Structure 1
Amino acid sequence: MKTVFVAGATGYLGRFLCAEYSRRGWYVMALVRDRCRADDLAADILIEAEATRPETLAGTLHGVDLVVSALGITRQADGLTYRDVDYQANLNLLREAERAGVKRFAYVHVLNADAMRHVPLVAAKADFVDVLRASVLPSTVIAPSGYFSDMGDFLSMARSGRVWLFAPGTHRINPIHGADLAAATAEATEAGTDWLDVGGPETFNHRELAQLAAEAVGHPAPITLLPDWLRKLALAILPRLTPRRIHGPAQFFLTAMSMDMVGARFGTRTLTDHFKQLAVQPSASPPSTAMEDSA
């Protein structure tokens, strides 16, 4: 039986990764910081360690065939930064994998990262990918277009009766469900793919997303297009006016909204059905962003 070590296992995507590899017959080792948060993980064994502290990783990867890392944060907590987690914690894990002779290291990145390297969140990820691809270990980089959980803001605005977009509202995205992304990751690692830009089965522009959300909640939600200079202004002033836990993810999402985010179509789960399911649960909060995984 092959062994996979999933880092960031208690995060949005990490849980799907554990379930997918388990379903495929792998022995699943899950890296967690707190066992209390991991009781429901589809894992054969829990490894309690902190990737930001390399000494806690020593010896944990002995006999592991594959490491899949979804380590990353969107909101800084415990005083940690993007460099601490998205870059350094993943680097600590990579160095331990090299010492242990792991056969492949897979990392969940972000689509269009080269166009967003000025964004601190993306820069930390991209810098790690540079090191990963220079490593002696074979690697797989998965670059998703966006996540269903990131689309919850459209539904929230539709519920409020108006959707606010930045002009022209025609940039496209094909977000992917976490379960489908986990399946795409498993297929790519098993096939030895070195890089995969991936998205879900449906592609929408931002106006179409607003319309889809309005249809899901069952009442009109007019679209107001804000001039793009307001988006640029927000990018300039948010770092001066808000703490990093606020402006960090905002910088990423405001930048991503200015470009097409379309990866290769994969999966069967549709955003249409996802919105319909959420719409009948008006008191339920949208799931936390897919990029917010435990370090």
Structure 2
Amino acid sequence: MAQDIKTAFVAGATGYLGRRIVAELLSRGYEVKALVRPGSDTSGLPGSVEQIEAEATAPATLDGIMQGVDMVISALGLTRQTDRLSYMDVDYQANLNLLREAVEAGVKRFAYVHVLTRGTPASDLVAAKARFVATLQTAPLETCVIRPNGFFSDMEAILEMAKRGRVWLIGNGSVRINPIDGSDLAAAILDGLEADAKDIEIGGPQILSLDQIADLAFLALDRRSKITHLPLWVGRAALSFMKRFAPRHIWGPFEFFLTSCREDAIGPCHGERSLSHHFKSLCSDSASADMAAVTSR
């Protein structure tokens, strides 16, 4: 089927991963259509991309937008937006709206970016994604479920804590993951799709414990590691409090992080970019920006 795919439609195209999927598709010669929300920042999308302005949570705006599309890749999901939408509204229902439109338009394949999980979904985010995957796998078209286990951008929260002087981890810090750079992930996704894979688990090139990730953050800052481990019950109590008094964009990422601290999530190794280099690049960029600000005064 891969040789029949010429036009790709990307949902979530303005996000961290979506932008990189768009770039990878273009580098491989695909025509790309990108779904963008009204008013969203599209400055990162190349001019050769056809931008389609619509709202995935509003089915009426999607009518006819996938005509001529061979493959849909959805990296659409709720992250830290501050609107009143829920994970079920976006990670499940909005993707379901896209799937229905794809089936109606005769799209050949629908690929969805899920997360790498083990066992029963333990967060609202993963539960919504898993519900969509269950529906997707019964759809009357070719499907592919993509399961990365963490982006470098997710690990930046640990670097930010290190900048403030201390990293707080839930658990004993021994849980292991192998997060992946967004561009490496996009390449691995396209490799899998071009090989007609149905289900892809993807991790980065280095398997690291949470303690080791924290150490890399302090190393990039040239500081001594200061890590505090909190028992799981403290994390659960904090989450319960957040869910009662804080908005979803505060407790949602914390809930996902809390569940990630409970067991290893190691995917097959892909890519070449290291988390250490990513942290050092961020620190270097930050230092350069600070110096520019000083010299411009």
**What TM-score, normalized to structure 2?**
0.90
Higher relative contact order (CA 8 A, sep 6+): 1
Query: Quick one: distance in 1 between partners of 2:85 and 2:21?
Result: 24
Distance 2:227 2:217 in 1: 11
One-letter code aligned to 1:64: V
Match of 2:115 among 110, 116, 122: 110
Query: Any idea what the Cα deviations from partners look like across 1:39-87, whole Å, max 9, x if unmatched?
Result: 4313431111111111111111111110000110123433211111111
Q: Percent identity?
A: 51
- SS of corresponding position for 2:20: helix
Cα gap change, 1:277 to 1:242, in 2 (>3 Å):
same
Paired residue secondary structure (2:68): coil
Partner of 2:295: none
Asked whether the 8 Å contact 2:11–2:72 carries over to 1, the reply is yes
CA displacement at 1:283 relative to structure 2: 6.1
Which letter does structure 2 place at the counterpart of 1:80? L
Aligned runs of 1:47-62 on 2, under 5 Å?
47-62=52-67
Q: 8 Å contact 1:35–1:46 — kept in the other structure?
A: no
After TM superposition, the structure 1 stretch with the greater mean CA deviation from structure 2, 273-282 or 39-48, is 39-48
- The equivalent residue for 1:133 is 137
TM-fit CA distance, 1:259? 1.5
CA–CA separation in structure 1 for the residues paired with 2:44 and 2:36: 12
Match of 1:64 in 2: 69
- Please name the residue that 1:280 is paired with: 284
Distance 1:39 1:216 in 2: 29
Residue deviations 1:82-104, cap 9 Å, x none? Answer: 11111111001001111111110
2:19 matched residue in structure 1: 15
Tell whether the 8 Å contact from 1:4 to 1:29 is kept in structure 2 after alignment.
yes
Distance 2:52 2:282 in 1: 33
The separation in 2 between residues aligned to 1:150 and 1:39, in whole angstroms, is: 22
CA deviation string 1:143-164 (max 9, x = no partner): 1110101111222222233222
Match of 1:268 in 2: 272
1:89 aligns with 2:94: yes
Give 3-state SS (helix, strand or coil) of 1:93's partner. helix
Aligned partner of 2:177 in structure 1 is 173
Distance change >3 Å, CA 49–CA 232, structure 1 → 2: same
Specify the SS of the correspondent of 1:107. strand
1:255: how far off? 1.0
Root-mean-square deviation (CA, aligned residues, Å) is 1.8
- Is there any run of 5+ residues in structure 1 with no aligned partner, and where? 286-295
Q: Which residue of 2 aligns with 1:38?
A: 42
SS across alignment from 2:72:
strand
Residue 137 of structure 2: SS of its match in structure 1? helix
| TM alignment of 1:66-81, pairs within 5 A | 66-81=71-86
Report the secondary structure of 2:147's partner residue.
Answer: strand
Residue aligned with 2:110, SS:
strand
2-structure distance, mates of 1:222, 1:78: 35
Q: Structure 2: where are the runs of 5+ without partners? A: 290-297
Q: Distance in 2 between matches of 1:36 and 1:142?
A: 25
Shift in alpha-carbon separation, 1:77–1:241, aligned structure 2, 3 A:
closer
In the alignment, structure 1 residue 218 sits paired with structure 2 residue 226:
no
* Partner of residue 162 from structure 2, selected from 141, 149, 158: 158
Matched to 2:223, the amino acid is H
